[in-house]
Amino acid sequence: MELDLQCYSVRTDLAVESKEMINSLEPAPIPGVVEDISQEDGIKITRLDVQNEAASQKIGRVVGHYVTLEVPELRKGDTGLQEHVATVFAREFEQFMQHIGLGPHASVLIVGLGNWNVTPDSLGPLVVENVMVTRHYFELMPDRVAPGYRQISAVAPGVLGVTGIESSEIVQGIVERTRPDAIVAIDALASRSLERVNTTIQIADIGIHPGSGIGNKRRGLTKDILGIPCIAIGVPTVCYASTIVNNAIEMMKNHFGSDSKQTGQIMGMLNEISEHDRLALVKEVLEPLGHDLIVTPKEIDEFIEDIANIVASGLNAALHEAVDPGNVGAYTH
């Protein structure tokens, strides 16, 4: 049975989903994958370490540290919950920076990947528009910068189809000229599960890898390429139709439950084959007919604005000591 998953084949960019799929096949713990889950006020936080190459092969994710916030209620548009998530995100992001050794004075370049004009791909540019940038004050009037602020710059490099240049090349050029200590890259992701779309935030120290994200970003933004740590913040905003179908069949299988004979009667071979094979089957059927589109919830305009505000507010509070998570909202518009 094929268990080594590749990111593309399952079409998810979320480590928690990769882990979930492995576990659905093999409930046993995976050596080299350490997971810690906590719950608070409707937010599920999963801290997941992929510790070595063997674990990476098994789970289909790059070696690294992943923190995921899942907030199913986020879709309801409750302003109070949004502020709470921004605060928790700020705390987790601050710990994450400490975890990878970034001190309170490390300068950061925030990179908003994606396309302004494609709503589900506009998360990165929207966050860039809403974060507090301070680098120019440090450059132009260093004596007048109040304590508690870090040197922050932010760019939205655009997408290959619009610029003709890989966003990683643009970022590399800017890094070489402005010499930040670290990159924080924000990108819209694909999930295998519609319910995670616009309700999940993933932080990872792995940078951006070819094939992740929903656009075309072949070269990646990684420590190997850029020479500085690169934290990736991702929010799933889309699903492939085929993964919706595949996931629904999985849910139906679970719905009919443990009596595999009965489930087999209802679902035939669909009950028996691996998720991987079943997805291949679904794709084989849908693709030639033009049905394997990438989709996003109808309410995407509002979702994307809300989640961009959460990420921007959270980053402002996490990056600047002087910004209080309590009044986090005031620094963005």
Task: Please report, as residue ranges, which positions from 35 to 74 form the binding site for its own copies (by CB under 8 A).
Answer: 72
Q: Which is nearer to its own copies, 52 or 163 (CB)?
A: 163
Of the residues 67, 238, 311, 317, which one makes contact with its own copies according to CB under 8 A: 238
> Contact with its own copies (CB under 8 A): which of 49, 244, 321, 324?
244
Stretch that binds its own copies, among 14-22, 58-66, 116-124, 222-230 (CB under 8 A): 116-124
Contact pick of 106, 295, 321, 324 for its own copies (by CB under 8 A):
295
| DSSP string over 24-45 | HH--SPPTTEEEEEEEETTEEE
DSSP state of 298: T
* Residues 120-179 within binding reach of its own copies (CB under 8 A): 120-121, 128-129, 133-136, 151-158, 160-166, 169-170, 172-178
Q: Given the complex with its own copies, which of 53 and 299 has the nearer CB atom?
A: 299
- CA pseudo-torsion sign 296, 298, 303, 304: positive
CB of 10 to its own copies, least distance (A): 17
Q: Which two tokens stand for residue 89?
A: 């995100």
Task: Provide the minimum distance between the beta carbon of 260 and its own copies in the complex, in angstroms, as a whole number.
Answer: 12
Query: What residues between 176 and 235 interact with its own copies by CB under 8 A?
Result: 176-178, 193-195, 197, 214
Both tokens of residue 87? 């605060």
User: Edge to edge, what strands does the sheet with 152-155 contain?
Assistant: 33-40, 43-50, 64-70, 200-204, 230-240, 182-190, 108-112, 152-155
Give the number of residues in contact with its own copies, rule: CB under 8 A.
84
Which pair of structure tokens corresponds to residue 153? 């710059």
**Which x/- pattern, by CB under 8 A, does the window 250-289 give for its own copies?**
-xx--x--------xxxxxxxx---------xx-xxx--x
Our CB check for its own copies shows the closer of 29 and 72 to be: 72
φ and ψ at residue 110, rounded to 5 degrees: -90, 125
Nearer Cβ to its own copies (157/229)? 157
**Closest to its own copies by CB, 64 or 264:** 264
Nearest residue (CB) to its own copies, 55 versus 170: 170
Radius of gyration of the chain (CA): 20
Q: Which two tokens stand for residue 289?
A: 């007919």
Nearer to its own copies, 88 or 249 (CB): 249
The answer to whether the beta carbons of residues 154 and 311 sit under 8 Å apart is no
**Applying CB under 8 A, does 322 fall inside the site for its own copies?**
no
Give the residue among 184, 190, 212, 221 at the shortest CA–CA distance from 90: 184
Give the integer Cα–Cα distance in Å for 310 and 111: 16
The CB-of-257 to its own copies minimum distance in angstroms stands at 12
Cβ atoms 187, 221 nearer than 8 A:
no
**Which residue do the tokens 């970034």 mark?**
102
Nearer to its own copies, 30 or 225 (CB): 225
User: How near is the Cβ of 281 to its own copies at its closest, in Å?
Assistant: 7
Question: Between the CA atoms of 275, 280, 284 and 285, what dihedral angle is there, to the nearest 10 degrees?
Answer: 10
